[in-house]
Amino acid sequence: MSEAPNIPGAALLQKGNYAITTLTEEIRADQHCAALLRQFHRHLLEEQQLPPLDAGALAAGADYFLREFIIGSRRENILEIPAERIRQFAGNWYIIRNLEPNLEELTDMLRGTAAFYRYGVGLNLVAAHSAGEISAECDKLGDFARRIEEFHAIRNDGFRAWDRACPLD
């Protein structure tokens, strides 16, 4: 996670600070997200008593999903995503944007994302039902493993059919 400015804790809990309609708002949302992820990491270490490597893997996984995909690509509020974004990320975006997409790396990202949204429930930033739906999508590892295998097996003009099976839009 890159360095973020020192943002007061109260600002991290204001959902509007994650809304994006302009480049300035995107930068602000990214900075707030980075600071919230640092807080999440500390929570994993101190409150959940996770080993440092496990806490780091979860926070880094959530970081990639939130800052690269939700903020950077989708330009959406990280606290108001539909569960469908998980499938779009794991079943398409991650696969086509990485040189060697693999289930091990993707699993860390999805586990971190699910843990982040559970953490968001505790902060009253995310509704419990939304976090539950996101977590359920993150658990569909078999589906995502199949998508990775199918991607590697694409021949000739097979990309279009593969893409249509799990479109980004």
pLDDT in tens, 121-146: 999 999 999 999 999 999 999 999 99
Cβ count within 10 A of residue 19: 18
Q: Which of the two residues, 1 and 53, has the higher pLDDT score?
A: 53
Mean pLDDT of 98-108: 95
**pLDDT(23) > 80:** yes
Q: For residue 4, what pLDDT is reported?
A: 46
**pLDDT(1) > 60:** no
The SS3 assignment for 55 reads helix
Write the single-letter amino acid at 6. N
**pLDDT(169) > 90:** no
Neighbouring residues of 61: CB distance < 8 A, sequence distance ≥ 6: 108, 109, 110, 111, 112, 113
Burial 54-74 (b: 16+ CB within 10 A, else e): ebbbbbbbbbbbbbbbbbeeb
